Structure 1
Amino acid sequence: NSNMHISKFLTFLSIASLASSLPLNVTVGCDPEAFIQIKKNSVANTRVVSNMYNYQASSFNSNSNSQVCQPFSIDFGSATDFSMFDVEYCPNNARLSNGLLQLDLTKECGTTLIYNQPIRRGRVDVVMKPAPSSGSVTALVFSGPPPSDEIDIEFVGRDPTQVQSMYFVKGSRIELQSQFHSSFPVSDMTKVFNTYSFELTDKAVNWFLNGDLVRTLPNKGSLTFPGDITNFRFGVWDGSNTSGWAGTIDWSIGSRSAFIKSISIKPYC
């Protein structure tokens, strides 16, 4: 009916307004379509934010008011599929291989997977070797509906000695710089499996590396705390066009891959 069309149009206008106000060099998770380099015009940014919205809404029943309280874990060494995760694009780039979940980053595209149950509070542990070399980015993401709250763990292949933690509130970066966490005594995180974890409670966000707490963000209010989270996703993407901070991929030596041994998801209900 006409009221429904008016409502949808107003929603579209609000998304367009959000997109045009986003700052430079904002990364919205691991979706390369949502990586805004230059504010060329509001149409381009509206497309990015709209894609992000559709991308998240398709991952689970967004009308659900509560998360699934049952813990979930998968060891890919014994798994026959990964059907609890929806592959949002480039499905051929996610596959089981030699007892691992392999995520390929090719010249054509990377890939992103989303846990197909909502999670609003909880902890995720991922045992992983991220994708190596300059230009490749491997990301683990808690995110919510737009304007998106977001909690990230990111690994940039050009620097194999540290992992980054960052967060966004309503699509805006509260702290302009990521925090960097050393892999010591591991000299190259792309060559060995490490456990990357993050946890969201009502009181704080916690980031962990191999079980050690490396960062805590206390909840000081909704304006600075990314508490509106609805899903967990992860993937690999090409960061070659990121103003230099991720480096540039040399495709002459072929594709890059991240390898995941296991994932554990523990909702807090």
Structure 2
Amino acid sequence: MKLDHAPNSYGRLQGLGSVVSTTRFMQYGKVKARIKTGSSSPGVVSAFIIRNEDPGDEIDFEIVGRDPSEAQTNFYYRTPPDMLTELIDYSNTGREPLGANTALGFHEYEIEWMPDYIQWKVDGRMIRRVFKNETKDDVDSAIDPSTGQKGKKFPSTPARIQFGIWDGGQGSNGTAAWAGSPTDWSKSDQTYEIQIDYVDIECYYSGNETQKWPPPGYGPTILHDGPYNTPGLGNWSGNGDSTYNEQEPGVRPFVPFYKNYKLMIPMGCFLSLTLIIIGTVQLVKRRRLAQVRWT
């Protein structure tokens, strides 16, 4: 993370953070990572996250520069990026002293996310566990006919694994008070970094301990306007598959280049035209050269 030289919306110079994210999604399982945080100054936030941007389910570790010897654990339910801050439920935060400055050495962090509980560990020691049946009722959810109960505010949608670092000390007053403030940008070449030694991912699938990736039939086999059925990426359709419709904004299944006619046709025309132009230029050059030699 480096300092941005343009003031943010609060009139402060703030660090430009970064996020590294997996390209594939998981739904339940264990994720373990050996991390040295970058939270060596007040305001610097280091994060290890399992998140689905839309609808916004999230489970995380956060280490804030205000106290880099404390691990903060959170889970959020349905908090998309455009959600108003005042509507987000921050009451699901846990805090645990670790007895060591996490910015000075590596520690092993683990999130175990199962259909009925979430568990956080640091260096093999469980620091927090939350059961689904202990979470708050979702008043907007329909009653499940199989159980007669309402849905729970518990992260349940397929999500990506992310590691990030950002500057909270130069943000809003509330965020700065939480992260520590001000962030130390006294040196012109000051940088902060989070280091990840390794990541170990163990996926969980209902009824199967392991599953080959990609599963049989992965991706669309016929090009049409949807809905697409992508096996193994979720359980919204009730059978372990995910059904997407191309008309939904931002939703597009992966289609290899050689199968995507929308790209192949214009690219083919472009390449053909390019070859014709090159061939014509070469032919003209040869004729002119022949005329010169004859003369």
- 8 Å CA contact 1:169, 1:223 repeated in 2: no
- 8 Å CA contact 2:43, 2:168 repeated in 1: yes
TM-aligned CA deviation for residue 223 of structure 1: 3.0
Q: Who is 2:43 aligned against? A: 135
Structure 1 pair 245/124, CA: closer, same or farther in 2 (3 Å)?
A: same
- 8 Å CA contact 1:107, 1:255 repeated in 2: no
More strand by share: 1
Q: Who is 1:244 aligned against? A: 177
Asked if 1:206 is matched to 2:119, the reply is: yes
TM-aligned CA deviation for residue 156 of structure 1: 0.3
Quote the RMSD (CA, aligned, Å).
2.3
Structure 1 pair 250/175, CA: closer, same or farther in 2 (3 Å)?
A: closer
Q: Who is 2:21 aligned against? A: 114
**Which is bigger in relative contact order (C-alpha 8 A, separation at least 6)?**
1
TM-aligned CA deviation for residue 177 of structure 1: 5.6
Q: Who is 1:169 aligned against? A: 77
Task: Read off the aligned partner of 1:267 and give its amino acid letter.
Answer: C
- What are the superposed Cα offsets for residues 52-79 of structure 1, whole Å, 9 maximum, x if unpaired? xxxxxxxxxxxxxxxxxxxxxxxxxxxx
> In the aligned structure 1, how far is the partner of 2:113 from the partner of 2:15?
34
Unaligned runs of 5+ in 2: 1-8, 80-86, 138-150, 206-295
Q: TM-score, normalised by structure 2?
A: 0.52
1:218 corresponds, among 121, 124, 131, to 131
> In the aligned structure 2, how far is the partner of 1:227 from the partner of 1:158?
31
Task: Read off the aligned partner of 2:23 and give its amino acid letter.
Answer: N
2:59 corresponds, among 151, 160, 168, to 151
> In the aligned structure 2, how far is the partner of 1:177 from the partner of 1:167?
6
Q: 3-state DSSP class of the match of 1:251? A: coil
Q: Who is 1:255 aligned against? A: 191
Q: Who is 1:125 aligned against? A: 32
Task: Read off the aligned partner of 2:91 and give its amino acid letter.
Answer: L
> In the aligned structure 1, how far is the partner of 2:29 from the partner of 2:157?
13
Structure 1 pair 134/243, CA: closer, same or farther in 2 (3 Å)?
A: closer
Unaligned runs of 5+ in 1: 1-37, 39-105
TM-aligned CA deviation for residue 146 of structure 1: 2.0
> In the aligned structure 1, how far is the partner of 2:127 from the partner of 2:92?
16
Structure showing greater Rg: 2
Residues matched between the structures, number: 164
TM-aligned CA deviation for residue 230 of structure 1: 1.9
Task: Read off the aligned partner of 2:69 and give its amino acid letter.
Answer: T
TM-aligned CA deviation for residue 173 of structure 1: 4.5
- 8 Å CA contact 1:174, 1:224 repeated in 2: no
